[in-house]
Amino acid sequence: MLVAVTPSGPVRGRRVAVTGLGALTCAGVGVPALWHALATATAPTSMRIGAFDTSHLGGPKELRRLDPFALYALVAADEAWCQSGLSGPLDDAGSIVTTGIGGLQSVLEQDVVLAQKGPDRVSPFLVPMMMPNAATAAVSMRFGLGGPCETVTTACAAGTHAIGNAARLVASGRCSVAVAGGAEAVMVQIAKAGFRNMTALSNEDLSRPFDVDRDGFVMGEGAGILILEEWDHALARGATILAEVLGAASTADAYHITAPDPVARGAIRCMELALADAELSASDVSHINAHGTSTQLNDLAESVAVRQVFGRDAPPVTSIKGHLGHSLAAAGALEGVVSVLTLQHQVIPPTAGTTKVDPAIGLDVVIGAPRPAEVNVVLSNSFGFGGHNGSVIFRRVVT
């Protein structure tokens, strides 16, 4: 049963269009590289981002003052902004670009400086480089966005929450435009050691969501950005509308700091609230872009939630973490980008690395090859440490 919400729910209000997409991943720079990589069921050999050009974003001195996560966000945001055709400054435009960890690389580098050269040699730019809000601040300054400039730090659900919160700003009339997404750059030894020692990482460095032999996630890095815009505002300027954000929701498990609730009460409520916000029934959803981290507990709990909400006729499910690894706060943002691409291309990407779906999952997990399908509505899920749950719903736009 759907949970009733009031008209002041997460996205209820003015229609919210997606008019720009940007991505930086281990697949390469840009959305086309990402979509091309998703066409195969083979996992990449590295989840790290390769070399990329930043000359169009500023001079070397300026860019050195950004931690990699903030630079990743700028690269993805620039692609999305250019696609949208918008120009700034815009005093009523907002930005919500989030991260789970922030400038960890800068902290570690300056800790070495402190130990070897003393406190007087620590960079005066350390604090603005390590701040979790550095990415969204950089985005707002680059494009002249004078509206709300905020950071949501809700672990692996943060990217999805950023999209939902930005959509709320547009739907409520507070902003005509909002830049939403997430970025992460934490593939450093201390982060890997921490995750590995809590037995969250795969011992084989292989991400295989929902597979019978899954044994943990593989860390990734990257950034995903969506430009959200009030529907009539986009139409008035002749913008190409890529998709519509219909609904979103956020709940808490209130259960454990790392483990998901095994009966998935928070995840169930989150999907139900998102559906109610979008004024849809479960049968309206064509496809689920799952959180699907490749851990035993998370994948099973998510499948419990999906089966409870959608019943025996649950739509096909995929997880792109087999392709990209788990990029923490950037994951939900990139999954939002891929959800829009799935609607545009009418093809569901396969779940890379997965060869035999665990019978306990009980879902139609797309594996082996891309699946052409009629996809009109996509539900994207994110579930993070701390019990944070996020769901966002996108609808296809037929021109």
Known catalytic residues? 156, 291, 326
Quickly list H helices, 7-65. Answer: 31-38, 60-63
For 212-270, the DSSP string reads TT---B-B--EEEEEEEEEHHHHHHTTPPP-EEEEEEEEEE--S-SSSPPTT-HHHHHH
- What DSSP state is assigned to residue 119? G
Q: How far is CA 223 from the centre of its chain?
A: 8
Cβ neighbours around 174 below 10 Å, total: 14
Q: Is 72 left (phi over 0), alpha (psi -120 to 50) or beta?
A: alpha
β-strands 287-289, 388-396: how paired?
unpaired
DSSP-derived 3-state class of residue 378: strand
For the chain, give percent helix, strand, coil, nearest 5. 40, 20, 40
Contacts of 313 (CB under 8 A, 6+ apart): 283
Q: How far is CA 58 from CA 64, 89, 142, 309, 344, in A?
A: 10, 18, 10, 47, 32
| Of residues 201, 379, 395, 187, the one with CA closest to residue 282 | 379
Residue 318 tokens read as 């995929």
Cβ neighbours around 370 below 10 Å, total: 17
